[in-house]
Amino acid sequence: MAISTEMVKTLREATSAGVLDCKKALEATDGDFDQAVKYLREKGLAIAAKKASRETNDGLVNVLVDEAGRLGAIVEVNCETDFVARTADFQAFVRAMVKQVAQETGWSRDELLTHLCTHRGGLPQGAPTSPRLSNLVNYPLDARLAGLAKRLGATYTRYADDMTFSFSSDDPRAIHKLIRVVKLILEEQGYAIHLRRKLQVRRRHQRQMATGLVVNTAVNLPRQTRRWLRAVRHRLETGQEVTLQDAELEGWLSLETMVRRQAAR
C-alpha cells in the first residue's frame, strides 16, 4: 500500500513520533493506523528498555507556584527519548516530583524567575524565555511606537529587534514622517536603526517580507522554500534519502503547518 504524506502527518500528530518513524510504522503495518500506533508504542518501549544505561537527553521540566505566588519549585526529569517523555505515566511522575520538592523546599517568586530564565548564572541566547523578557524590557518602546503608528494610520508589530509598520495605502509623507520619528524614539530608548542593512520600504508590487515570511496578501513561506519542501516530501514518498535529520525535517514541517493555519484564519 502506498503511504501518503497525509497518512504520515496524521500518525505523527496522534503519537508525536518522528516523521521517518511514522513512515516506517505505516509501511510495516500496510497502512493500518491502529496497528501503526501499536507498532510505535512497542518500538518506543523496547528502545527505552534496551538503552536504559545510555545518556538521557530528553525529558520534561515542571514548575509549581503556590496560590499566593510567594513560593515555587522547578524540577527537571530526564529520559532517553521524547516518546517516553510524552507518555501519561512519565508526565504524572514529574508532576508528583515537583509537588514533593515544593513541599520540602521552595524559592521566592524572584528567585524562581531567575532560575527559570538563566543557565549557570547567565542569560542564554535563543532561550524560550527571551521573547517574554524582551517584551517586558521594551514595553514602553512598544507603547510609544504603537501610538505613533495609530496616529499615522499604520499598524505596528515587533519580533525581537525586527519592527514592521504596515500601511493600508502608499502615503510617502506619512512613511517619511514615521521613519524620522521612529529614529528619534529609538535613540531615546538607547537603540539605533540599521539604516543601510535593515531599513526597507516595500510597496504593494514588491515582495513584502517580515521575519522570513511573505506577507503581501496572505502569510506564506517564500516560493523557493515551498518548492524545496515539496521536493523533500516527494523524496520521502518515493523511498529516497533526504539530507535532513529527522528533527530538522519535523521543524520545517511544523513551521509549514503553523503558517498554513495562520493564513487560513
Round to whole Å and give the CA distance between 106 and 130.
24
Instruction: Let me know the angle formed at the C-alpha of 57 by 239 and 20, rounded to the nearest 5 degrees.
Output: 10
CA distance 166 to 153: 9
Q: For 72-114, how does the pLDDT look when each residue is reduced to its tens digit (9 = 90+)?
A: 778 889 887 788 888 888 899 988 888 877 766 666 666 667 7
pLDDT, residue 148, reads: 93
pLDDT at 186 > cutoff 60: yes
Say how far apart CA 62 and CA 75 lie, in whole Å: 5
pTM of structure: 0.52
262 is written with which cell numbers? 495562520
Residue 45 pLDDT exceeds 60? no
Q: String of b and e for 109-135 (b: at least 16 CB within 10 Å)? A: eeebeeeeeeeeeeeeeeeeeeeeeee
Q: What is the mean pLDDT of residues 16-32?
A: 85
